[in-house]
Amino acid sequence: MDRLDNTVRPYAWGSTTAIPALLGTEPTGEPQAEMWMGAHPGAPSRTGRGTLAEVVDAAPERELGAASVAKFGPRLPFLLKLLAAGAPLSLQVHPDLAQARAGYEDEERRGVPLDAPHRNYKDANHKPELICALTEFDGLCGFRPPAETADLLDGLGVASLKPYVDLLRAYPEDAALREVLTAVLTADPEEMSRTVTETAAACDRLGGAYTPYADIAHHYPGDPGVLAAMLLNHVRLQPGEALYLGAGIPHAYLNGLGVEIMANSDNVLRCGLTPKHVDVPELLRIVRFEAGDPGVLRPEASPDGEEVYETPIDEFRLSRHVLPEGTAARDLTLPTPQILLCTAGTVRAGEHELTPGQSVFAAAGEKAEVSGTGTLFRATVLL
């Protein structure tokens, strides 16, 4: 197995303390938002044999296995991360596979540069993702029923919200959600800024269920994404709980530390809470205007002690091994590539001793025996 040396990304929304606390290092005072583990070209993990991207490129079938290459191509299909949100991330959705391919081909045909700020599709892949909480973790996921949102907005006593309340109560679910999100994102910027300011003040004053939105408005004053966020379910995950975010589901992470895994893609359509480009027509084409429960996931235990977070896609499979003191060594060898990440205690993976935040890559079929006392997350694919 290869020990991984991973890059920490300093995005502005990142916590200054959460990742250092896990790693047992001193904070630098700068945000430390994400630690990437994988072969993504933006920040591939480093090994004693070169970057993981170079290792895979040199011998895809040896590293990934012939079956994985046949199904997903000659690349590691997933990206694993530690994610530490100290402030809300942008409100966003991801396309499905057909939408991503069509959008990428269209922008390529039109000659839109890959690094253009208004480019929507950086690749032709979809980006389903899963976030598993290591601490209490707050997020927004999917639309709440329009009638509930109407009551929430009405309770603020802000006159300029009344048209949205009326729309939410007058139309069927999908039309109500579409009409309100469209109205919010296309409103006059100055009028919207005033409405958001009044809404934020009311949220601050009332607290309770309004508290998450007051905090969002504090970070993004006047941003229409604050009202868009109020259309969504607020979720607080406890450690070990997870959310799966499929195509078209609007979501945002607000605060907390978690393990995130996703398909190897960078396709994001933003709804707000960001200074970056918001392509409203394309966003409205991608969003699924369906209300529903956010669907908190808890791991399903198997007889061998593996706890699996079940998802409906094949590009990644996340599971957890909690190793109590005195546990016998476990053989985690698989015919697929895998990354093993320690998040608590001390775990030996082959010849490597892992402490929190440390990880290894095991090639397809490579012996992967683990022992010790702690918690180990395993990322692989499903064939």
User: Which is the catalytic residue, given 3, 75, 270, 317?
Assistant: 270
Reading phi first (left if > 0) and then psi (alpha if -120 to 50, else beta), residue 322 is in beta
3-class secondary-structure state, position 137: strand
Q: Report whether 383 contacts 337 (CB < 8 A).
A: no
Q: Is the dihedral of CA 268, 11, 7, 374 positive or negative?
A: negative
Nearest partner of 341 among 264, 266, 267, 257, judged by Cα:
257
Question: 162-170 and 173-186 are packed helices; what angle lies between their axes, rounded to 10 degrees?
Answer: 160
Residue 279 sits at φ, ψ, to 5 deg, of: -95, 90
Question: 173-186 and 146-154 are packed helices; what angle lies between their axes, rounded to 10 degrees?
Answer: 50
Residues 191 and 21: their CA atoms lie apart, in Å, by: 43
Question: 162-170 and 146-154 are packed helices; what angle lies between their axes, rounded to 10 degrees?
Answer: 160
Which residues are within 8 A (CB) of 263 and not within 5 positions of it... i.e. 6 or more apart? 77, 78, 79, 125, 126, 127, 128, 129, 313, 315, 316
State yes or no: is 270 an active-site residue.
yes
Distance from the Cα of residue 259 to its chain's centroid: 9
- Catalytic (active-site) positions: 270
